Amino acid sequence: PRTLPDPHLQLSDIFIAVKTTGRFHSTRLTLLLETWISRTKEHTYIFTDAEDGSAALKGYNMVVTSCSPEHSAQGLSCKMSAEYDHFMASDKKWLCHVDDDNYVNPGALLSLLSGFPPGGDVYVGKPSLDHPIRAHELLPDNTTREVDFWFATGGAGFCLSRTLAEKCRPGRGAPVGFIVEQRLGIPLVHSAMFHSHLENLLLLTPRHVPLQVTLSYGLFENKMNSVELQGTLSKEEDPSRFKTVHCLLYPMTNWCP
């Protein structure tokens, strides 16, 4: 029955796409490789815009796109289409997209996605705003109409089931949230377990931090925003707190204190 969850789902059924850019390889990306990507290496694909022969990147699934390295709508949606194409060519059941300032908790991600029925149309993530986005859709007769839709913030990550992905080619720069909600009428499943640095991460209770699907760090209102978590590593050694979270989840990691 289509309403039962999928207890057979495995972590390796999830295609995790990480969006990065050349100048963040040695900083942001390296931190991810040392932490969560070390647990999901085989099915994690890193989408970038620059060749990089560094030894640290050897052995990972790097996809060097010809997308512009700019933080423009065009550069970013170009990488999203590349992620989509690679996912479609794979045998994976889910496409999860994250930025290079996200920590992905593999166990929490698997439990979340296992709760959805196999073969269902699912778009799950955290809305980027507390209200839907209003846009003007261009109609075939060149008039426009106002449409409202929820948009999962790319900065917190989101996941798309294969069944739904097959119905929505993100062509011509139209963002995934728009295609899914407007064209297909499938609502975003709002999850509070995805986090971007555009929310106050200090509000997450420390004991809830290791249960979240994604975390982030970065600037928020001109101040460093990261989760609050006690550990042996100081804030100077681990400003993002990603290493501290990782050592809590995987204490046997060789570099953990």
Which residues have CB under 8 Å from 131's CB, separation 6+? Answer: none
Stretch that binds Mn ion, among 22-30, 71-79, 171-179, 215-223 (CB under 5 A): 215-223
Tell me: does residue 118 bind ligand UDP (CB under 6 A).
no
Cβ closest to Mn ion, residue 157 vs residue 170: 157
Q: Is 218 in the site for Mn ion (CB under 5 A)?
A: yes
Q: Which member of 9, 14, 16, 21 binds ligand UDP (CB under 6 A)?
A: 21
Rule CB under 6 A: say whether 226 interacts with ligand UDP: no
Distance CA 191, CA 213 (A): 9
Q: Decide: is 24 part of the binding site for ligand UDP (CB under 6 A).
A: yes
Picked from Mn ion, ligand UDP, none, the partner binding residue 69 (CB below 5 to 8 A depending on kind) is ligand UDP
With tokens 């993002």, the residue in question is 240
Give 98's Cβ-side CA count (13 Å radius): 32
Closest CA relative to residue 232, chosen from 251, 216, 218, 217: 251
Confirm or reject binding of residue 214 to ligand UDP (CB under 6 A).
no
Which of 73, 91, 70, 84 is closest to 180 using CA atoms?
84
19 binds ligand UDP (CB under 6 A): yes
97 binds ligand UDP (CB under 6 A): no
Euclidean distance between CA atoms 72 and 193, whole angstroms: 27
Q: Looking at 99-107, 161-169, 185-193, 241-249, which segment touches ligand UDP (CB under 6 A)?
A: 99-107
Look at residue 81 and give the partner it binds from Mn ion, ligand UDP, none, a contact being a CB closer than 5 to 8 Å depending on partner kind.
Answer: none
Q: How far apart are CA 198 and CA 196, in angstroms?
A: 5
Q: Identify which of 80, 83, 37 has the alpha carbon closest to the alpha carbon of residue 60.
A: 37
3-state SS class at 232: coil
157 forms part of the interface with ligand UDP (CB under 6 A)? no
Choice between 210 and 218, CB closer to ligand UDP = 218
The count of chain residues that interact with ligand UDP, using the rule CB under 6 A, is: 13
- For ligand UDP, which residue has the nearest CB? 99
Sign of CA pseudo-dihedral 192, 75, 132, 6: negative
Note the residues at the interface with ligand UDP (CB under 6 A).
Answer: 19-21, 24, 69-71, 75, 99-101, 155, 218
